Amino acid sequence: MVFARESPIMSRSGLAGALLVLVLNFGLAFAAEYKLTNGDIYRGEASSFNDDGLVVRLDIGGFSPRVPWGKLTQETLKELVATAEAKEFVEPYIEVPIEIKQQERQKKKDIRVSDPPTKVSHVENKTGFFAAMGNPLGYALLGILYLANLYAAAEVARFRGRPVGLVVGVSAIAPIIGPALFAFLPGAHVHAEPAAAHHEPAATEAVNPTQAALPPGMAASGLSVASTGGGKAATNPAYTMVHTRANSTIDRRFFETKFSGFFRVVPADAEKDLVLVIKTPKKEIVGTRVSRISASEIHVQLQQGAETSVAFGEITEVSVRPKGAK
């Protein structure tokens, strides 16, 4: 009996084929199954993961289309969650059992509220007025009130005929109290007019130089004339005085009572040749009549025909003199 001897090449190819068959059978044995909710199954190895799903390298060759995570069964998703690469994409799609959800809800309901270890004590002292004003806005309000206090003091001084500097100085030291004090005090009225009326200077006679040379009893008639101190100016005692803040309260009533003749549109004989002189620290006003007057100022018509005004608080002196006199 004769046996044919196999060649080395044939024996080697047979061994390689046997090994290939074993490898394929081993891969098929361990190939994963990816089940879809519609009943389809992909067998192979997952090769790609992202937000849109996964791609399976099929054991029969090629790749499957990308399968969305929502189309995979819960069984497949639970198997994939063990894969580190797929865990972050798979977890949101895994359904949690109702029992576990109820347990989690019960845990959330059990909220324990405990008092803090230490309590903050409330401030018992009440905030005072000056403490409340201790901020920039409070300082601004106090400054405005202080300036208003000084302004009110100046107005009270003008109204009551008091020195403005004195009233404002007292009000600066004693705010609110100072203006209120001078407002309730009577005005500084000094009635010197009656005394002046009894002590009017007698009219002196102006003597002609040639009259002194005549013998006694032979005085020339018509050579004596009346002085400027008498005549029309003597009809009103107020016209012969110089009125200042020291002896008079210069306000609206002062002009209406003592210089009423200057309020006429057509001056009377007593005021026809006289002018009203009003002095202030800055100027001297010479007027022929009072055109208007208010509670705080007087309007005077000047000799040139124009009109000017001056506040009572600025007037320092009022007098009357003949026209043309200086």
Q: Are 24 and 64 in contact (CB under 8 A)?
A: no
pTM of the model: 0.32
Same domain, 298 and 255: yes
Same domain, 202 and 292: yes
Same domain, 250 and 298: yes
What is the model's pLDDT at position 151? 92
In this structure, is the dihedral angle defined by the CA atoms of residues 313, 319, 325 and 326, taken in order, positive or negative?
negative
Last residue of a domain, one of 93, 122, 139: 93
CA gap 232, 272 in Å, rounded: 9
CA gap 188, 167 in Å, rounded: 13
Specify if 205 maps to a domain: yes
In this prediction, what percent of the chain has a pLDDT beyond 90?
16
Give the residue with greater pLDDT, 265 vs 105. Answer: 265
The total of other beta-carbon atoms located within 10 Å of residue 233's CB is: 18
Specify if 169 maps to a domain: yes
Question: Which CATH number covers residue 64?
Answer: 2.30.30.100
Average pLDDT for 18-46: 68
Average pLDDT, whole number, for the chain? 75
Q: What is the pLDDT of residues 289-312, one digit of tens each?
A: 898 999 999 999 888 888 899 999
Specify if 306 maps to a domain: yes
Cα–Cα nearest to 231, from 262, 260, 199, 269? 269
Same domain, 248 and 204: yes
Indicate the residue type of 160: R
Question: Which CATH number covers residue 228?
Answer: 2.30.30
Same domain, 177 and 239: no
Q: Are 160 and 152 in contact (CB under 8 A)?
A: no
User: pLDDT tier at 45 (50, 70, 90 boundaries)?
Assistant: confident
Rounded alpha-carbon distances, angstroms, from residue 319 to 196, 204, 237, 291: 14, 22, 11, 17
Indicate the residue type of 243: H
Specify if 71 maps to a domain: yes
Q: Are 53 and 69 in contact (CB under 8 A)?
A: yes
Beta bridge partners of residue 63, listed in sequence order: 57
Residues 6+ apart with CB under 8 A from 4: none
The domain total for the chain is: 3
CA atoms within a 13 Å half-sphere pointing along the CA-CB vector of 148: 7
* Residue corresponding to tokens 């394929």: 24
Specify if 296 maps to a domain: yes
Same domain, 37 and 153: no
Same domain, 46 and 151: no
Same domain, 201 and 285: yes
Specify if 216 maps to a domain: no
Q: At what angle do helices 164-173 and 177-184 cross, to 10 degrees?
A: 140
User: pLDDT tier at 235 (50, 70, 90 boundaries)?
Assistant: low
Same domain, 177 and 228: no
Domain that holds residue 65: 17-93
Reported for 166-173, long-range contacts at CB under 8 A and 24+ positions apart, including other chains, are none
Same domain, 205 and 162: no
What is the model's pLDDT at position 204? 41
Q: Lowest-confidence range among 22-31, 154-163, 247-256, 310-319? A: 22-31
Same domain, 205 and 151: no
Q: Are 251 and 312 in contact (CB under 8 A)?
A: yes
Q: Are 43 and 32 in contact (CB under 8 A)?
A: yes
Specify if 45 maps to a domain: yes
Q: What is the pLDDT of residues 264-290, one digit of tens each?
A: 888 888 888 899 999 998 889 999 889
DSSP class of residue 232 equals: G
Specify if 128 maps to a domain: no
Same domain, 206 and 278: yes
